[in-house]
Structure 1
Amino acid sequence: MRLFLLPISTRRSLIYCEKLHEKAPADRSLYDKVTIKANDTWLAWEKDDKAIGNWKNKVTFYGNQALKRIPYEEWGLKTIPALTAKRKQDIIDGKAKYEVLFPGHYLPKERVPGLLEKLAKDRQNMHRSKLIWSVVIMPFTAPFMLIPVIPNLPFFYVLYRAWSHWKALTGSKHLEFLLKHNLPTPAPSAILDEAYTAGLMYPTRAISRAAPRPTLDQVQSVSQVVHQQTNNETEDVMVLQRWNGKLIAEQFKLPEMEVEIERAVEQVEKSIKTKEELMEEKLELEKAAGNGGERAKDDLPDHILGRIHQQAEHVAEEKEAADKAKNKASG
């Protein structure tokens, strides 16, 4: 089984497990059948514009918006299958082969075990607690069954969240069990190194496709620049582009991976942007308070300070141009 540890930024990573081969219909469990049926129904609703008041289309639209808010860490853990008795015994007996692929030039090998342990353990209590609460809340959604035509959507949403937390919890326990038995085996990937380098070298997917694959010298050079500009990865800066998710998924023939990468990149980008805006606001407040903003300036990375100075210069230039136009008109 292959796992992927994909740095989204210099301080946050996505865990992704390669999907197991699809079982034949006759071999599918009840759980598999229900999951497939639910996915097929959701896809059908997305395309159905003939329902009364177009409610199916609206439900899927707002439902997809809600799904985007689920943390990417939860989505990643959900890709790891539950630890069955057979899998557990194979791991104990040394029969199971697990490896974790990662871009070695953008994620030092010695950091991999610590990151995997953090992903496995940090969210277990939260998923366990929210699973329990989801089950407790389910009976209170029963009155919505009285609404005609439309299914009991609150119940199905709470049911889905319970299932999602359960999947993430079982995935984290599987990963934790692997780590206790010195698995998975770290495997630096030259393909991932090239994909990350291309994403940082080129501005679009189309240009990246047309350009030659980055050389080893380019990989080393670009990764070293990232290392230096982020103060040895202590500052949180994006290293993966959203459009690059499709190219990485294609390299490994894992189309489902594309969605997971894009979702993770979108969430981390938003988080970093919000943090930068808060730091900029803090700087402005301290300046307004009359202390010169020295304390906030010490906390701000150089690339944020540079952006603030550029914005200030742009505002000053616009003001100067407006004053000149006003004076010319009055003259």
Structure 2
Amino acid sequence: MRLFLLPVSTRRSLIYCEKLHDKAASERGYLDKLTNKASETWVAWESDAKAPLNWKKRVTHMGNQALNRIPFEEWGLKTLPALTPRRKLAITEGTEKWQVIYPGQYLHKERVPEILKQLAKEKQGMYRSKMLWSIVAMPFTAPFALIPVIPNLPFFYFVYRAYSYWKALAGSKHLEFLLQHNLPTPNPSTELDEAYTAGLMYPTRDISRAAPTPTKEQSEKVADVVESLTNGGKEDVMVLQRWNGKLIAEQFHLPDMEVEIERAVEQVEQSIKARDKLVEEKLELEKATAGPGQTAKDALPRHITQPLEEAEKRIHEAAEKISHEKPSKDEKA
């Protein structure tokens, strides 16, 4: 099976698991049938203009907005299948092969295991606790069932969130189990390098389609430019474009990947914009509170700044002492 590790920015990445095939109707369990039925109903509501006051389309519109606020990391983990005893046996016996596909020019190989480990372990506790809270909240939504015509939407919301947290938790445990058995195998992709480079070189999807495929040299140059913009890893820089998700999905014949990429890019872009806005506000506040030729720190009372200065001095003195005590290469020889 193939996992895709797609850096959205220089600090955040999306994981996506390829679906090999859909289960036949006879092989689907009760949960699969219920999930498919819910998806079909939701799609039908989105196009239903005959409901009184157009409530079905209103509900699906608000619901889609709420779904888009779910972190893309959670959506990505949900694409991994649950770790069944059969899959666990196949992994331990080495009969099931896993590889992780990633753009080697935009994601260094040594970072791949670190990112996968973070995605697998970082939020397991949160998914578990929120799943339990969603289950606990379900009975308290029972009174909403008394409202005529409209179904008990709060109840179905908590049912969905409990299911979503369970899927993400199951996916994270599956990924953790793979890492414990030295899987998946890193596999850098030149196709992804070309797609990422095209997304950064060209302004639109149509131009990217018509333009020649970027060369390896061009990919290396663009990747170097992105690396320089991070200011030594201090800044978070976008490397994936929203319109590029469709091209990547088409490249690997995975249409469902397009939605995941678009959602991830939108969330990361909003996060970076919010961070930049906060920095600007802090700079404006510093400018407003400080006097001429001063920073906000200079305007603070002496009883606050003195302990900070003394701590900085002690750290500096300790660093100088360590550097003087460290033996030189000649002394070691």
TM-score category, normalised to shorter length: 0.7 to 0.9
**8 Å CA contact retained: 1:286, 1:293:** no
Supply the AA of the counterpart residue of 2:43: L
Q: Shift in Å at residue 233 of structure 1?
A: 3.4
Tell me which residue corresponds to 1:192: 192
Aligned to 1:116: 116
Residues in 2 aligned to 1:155 and 1:277: alpha-carbon distance in whole angstroms: 37
Summarize deviations over 1:124-168 as a string: whole Å, max 9, x none: 000000000000000000001111111110000000000000000
Instruction: Return the offset for 1:19.
Output: 1.5
Q: Which residue of 1 aligns with 2:252?
A: 252
- Other-structure match for 1:302: none
Assess if the C-alpha contact under 8 Å between 2:242 and 2:261 holds in 1: yes
SS of aligned partner of 1:101: strand
Give 5+ residue unaligned stretches, structure 2. Answer: 298-333
Structure 1 residue 260, shift from structure 2 partner: 0.2
1:270 and 2:264 aligned: no
Q: C-alpha distance in 1, partners of 2:253/2:296?
A: 49
Give the structure-2-normalised TM-score: 0.87
Instruction: Give the aligned residue type for 1:21.
Output: H
Q: Which runs of 4+ in 1 moved over 6 A?
A: none
The 5 A counterparts of 1:23-172 are: 23-172=23-172
What residue number does 1:241 align with? 241
Which residue of 2 is the match for residue 318 of structure 1? none
Amino acid at match of 1:251: Q
* C-alpha contact (below 8 Å) 2:287/2:296 kept by paired residues: no
State the 1:32 CA deviation. Answer: 1.4
The answer to whether the Cα contact below 8 Å between 2:128 and 2:169 also exists between their aligned partners in 1 is yes
Deviation at 1:234, TM superposition (A): 3.2
- Secondary structure at the aligned position of 1:6 is classed as strand
Distance in 1 between the 2:32 and 2:294 partners? 58
Residues 242-267 of structure 1, C-alpha deviations (whole Å, 9 max, x = no match): 00000000000000000000000000
Instruction: State the aligned residue count.
Output: 296
1:294 positional shift = 5.6
Q: State the Cα distance separating 1:232 from its structure 2 match.
A: 3.8
Amino acid at match of 2:259: V
Larger deviation, residues 272-281 vs 227-236: 227-236
Normalised to the residue count of structure 1, the TM-score between the two structures is 0.88
Shift of 1:279: 0.3
DSSP-derived class of the 2:21 partner: coil
Match of 1:329 in 2: none
Q: Are 2:231 and 1:231 equivalent residues in the alignment?
A: yes
Percent identity, aligned pairs only?
70
Task: Report the alpha carbon displacement of residue 231 of structure 1 after superposing the two structures with TM.
Answer: 2.5
CA distance in 2, matches of 1:38, 1:4: 27
Task: Give the 3-state SS of the residue equivalent to 2:4 in structure 1.
Answer: strand
